[in-house]
A and B are shown apart, each in its own frame.
Chain A
Amino acid sequence: MSGEPLLAIDGLRVEFGPADAPLAAVKGVGLEVGAGEIVGLIGESGSGKSLTCRSVMRLIHPPGRIAAGSIAFEGRDVLAMSAKELRDFRAHEAGMIYQDPFSSLNPVFRVGEQIVETLRSNLGMGKDEARKHAVELLDGVGIPDPERRALSYPHELSGGMRQRVMIALATASRPRLLLADEPTTALDVTTQAQILALLQRLRAERGMAVLIVSHDFGVIAQVCDRVAVMYGGHVVETAPIGTIYEQAEHPYTRALMESVPELESAGKRVRRPGIPGSPPELTEDLEGCVFAPRCAYARPSCKDVSMALEPVAPDHRTACPVRPFARTAATTGAPA
């Protein structure tokens, strides 16, 4: 990854509740997506990953609010944009797809109509041109018989097709960044694979970057170039996918990897280690490392950890200063 990142989030903090006693669901997150990259944001429920994703579009609903941090898209500060600039940004630069394709499509309008509306409103197309283009878009996301399908209502389509429609809608004006908030969680595994393949194709054809949020490592593993791992409102590690698999540095990442069942273990009695304990509540404001209470490698010094990401290799950063898995010169005999 070279040059300026397409999307750079730094120190993002999303809070709820009264201003003098706020609860922070996202506690200072830093994340980057380069042009044409597919980055995965993985974490369990409550880790703050969805909120991070929505913050990029500034779609945080009251009583939540973005309390601190910066979100830069091609160098421009999204959080400082005026209403009009924000609308342009949403219309042309970034798109978003959601977890439940049923509730993210307006149930009372035909699918084709909704695409036409976006095309006319954002790209200024005339009615006939927009209609033709809408059918092309539907075709482009792999919907069979697109002319007929355009006349359908959302409830007449299957989950997979709805998600394709969503993708068509979100990418209609060829944004450079697509935000995908758990796009496959509501789909069965086969459809999941199809949708992910579609996203990869769009990236290949258009150079579109994607930020995929998921709690399913299988999804992340299928398509992502790089991964950011979130826990308790913080990003605890970022690295390319291969590195995460083989050389994860953060104890949480390792634990996450180990708790994912592998196909090879089917039939064998392998005990999957779960992670003891449970994630921190929103109300807890812990000192030091948020994962320490559940960490097998915790030390007293973890109470002073700042959760800042430190590089351990080019393009590999972790928030764990303990680095229990690090290969030092002493253990491998190779230069550190």
Chain B
Amino acid sequence: MLSYVLHRMALSVVVLFGLLVATFFIIHLVPGDPVTIVLAGHGTPQAIAETRHELWLDRPLLEQFWLYLSHTLQGQFGTAFTLNASVGELIGQRVAPSAIMIGYGILWALVIGVPLAVIAALRPNGIVDNAIRLGTTFTFAMASFWLGLMLALLLGLELHIFPVSGYETGLSGILKTMTLPALTLGLGLAAVVVRTLRSSLLEVLSSEYIDAARSRGLSEVRVVGKHAMRNALMNTITILSVNVGFLIGGTFVLEQVFQIPGVGSLLLQGVQKRDYQLVQALALLSGTAVVLAGLAADILQAWLDPRVRLARR
């Protein structure tokens, strides 16, 4: 187990490094010089030159990369030149709501998705199963922000169950302000969960060890809930970790729909104002989150299924 974990971590480090390289080069190789464009109307040539010097834009590319690398590894993400604040600080203030939305959203996805998947798998091709699958097709085709608006319209504006904007801390505050966004996120993800878990379960339920468990007189709850699920969850965990990227994207958009002051709105500001330090740091952060989620998923799988520990990728 330990060697597997170490192996995966080493691979992750390689990918993270690749991320650093990619974020840097994409930002710097795409045509357009941010500083010049943003400050063009508002600054003297001297001010522009100064800002460019501060941001190392007047140095050779590789040197810029080296500076970027060394600073990032020390935790200094630079300054958002359009907002005149340290990027690190800005992100720190805003991370919590976004993280909460993702976590809460995954919770909803599991709460909705797992039972539906089990029901669908126990009576495949029946009416209920087909209805559930049809529902997932619909949900999958919905833009997350549109779904958010529809839920806001229905549950918020029409029925007045939840507020449709704003963010409050504390448990009740979170439940009040974050349920609609998390539910939106969760519904989209639930569609994926239902599909993958259902097909995994169908495969597992036709295995001989399930029959063997039944022939020992174990209860159906135990057979499906413990024996079948443990095997079927493998696939689902993989799919979830692959979808973390989309989750993050969805979170950013939904922050706009529901006016949540998270990292997403920060990113949007950065984009609108062409503040590339900010955008770069956030891109790196998101990528890192995805890689870490993938690592966590791999470790979880290895813990649940001993055969995984033997596989070399």
Contact = CB atoms under 8 A, between A and B. Distances in A.
A and B touch in the complex (CB under 8 A): yes
Contact of B217 (A100, A122, A153, A166): A122
A79 B231 CA distance: 31
A94 B227 CA distance: 21
B214 interface: yes
Contacts, number: 77
Interface of B: 206-209, 211-219, 222, 227, 230-231, 304-307
Interface stretch (A104-112, A126-134, A287-295): A104-112
B4 to A, nearest CB: 14
A109 B210 CA distance: 13
Given A106-B231, A107-B305, A90 B208 contact: no
Interface residues of A, number: 32
Contacts of B207: 103
A103 B218 contact: no
Interface of A: 57, 59, 61, 87-92, 94-96, 98, 100, 103-109, 117-118, 121-122, 153, 155, 166, 169-170, 172-173
A87 B217 CA distance: 5
Contact of A92 (B213, B214, B215, B217): B217
Contact of B216 (A103, A109, A122): A122
Question: What 3 A-B pairs come out closest when comparing CB atoms?
Answer: A91-B217, A90-B217, A96-B215
B24 to A, nearest CB: 42
Contacts of A172: 216
Given A100-B208, A108-B304, A108-B306, A87 B215 contact: no
A172 B216 CA distance: 9
Nearest to B124: A62
A104 B306 contact: no
Nearest to B205: A61
Given A108-B230, A108-B304, A108-B305, A98 B208 contact: yes
Given A155-B306, A155-B307, A106 B217 contact: no
A185 to B, nearest CB: 13
A95 B215 contact: yes
A126 to B, nearest CB: 18
Contacts of A170: 215-216
Contact of A96 (B212, B305, B306): B212
B215 A166 contact: no
Nearest to B310: A155
Given A117-B218, A153-B306, A173-B217, 11 more contacts: A87-B219, A88-B217, A89-B217, A90-B217, A103-B207, A104-B212, A106-B209, A106-B213, A109-B230, A122-B217, A153-B307
